[in-house]
Amino acid sequence: MDIIISQIEQLRNFISEITFSDIDKIQDDTLLFEEGIFDSLGFLSLVSFLNEEYGVEVTNDELSEDNFKSIKAIVEYIAKKQNSRLD
């Protein structure tokens, strides 16, 4: 549970920094694309961040908005990727 909270806070801070968005407006379920927080450049930065911070490599097949639409979705995606490495 602490890992998830840490990931949420890391992601919230990262998204706030690269998008210059008010951190208080970025909640776990904020729709990052629909609300205009993320654009394509921000998304590329996120993919790079996930690789560097969590060792998560995003494949072309996984470039779906469902995987990245909110912090909650991103945390679930990270867990799924990390669990698949353990199998």
| Statement: residue 20 has pLDDT above 70 | yes
Domain of residue 46 covers 2-86
CATH of the domain at 8: 1.10.1200.10
Instruction: Between 34 and 1, name the one with better pLDDT.
Output: 34
Count: domains in the chain: 1
Interacting residues of 34 by C-beta distance below 8 A, sequence separation 6+: 69
pLDDT digits (tens, 9 = 90+) for 59-75: 999 998 899 999 999 99
Give which of 26, 50, 55 is closest to 38, Cα–Cα: 26
End-to-end CA distance of the chain: 21
Predicted TM-score (pTM) of this structure: 0.90
The answer to whether residue 87 scores a pLDDT higher than 70 is: no
57, 51 contact by CB (below 8 A): yes
- Which residue, 40, 44, 37, is CA-closest to 70? 37
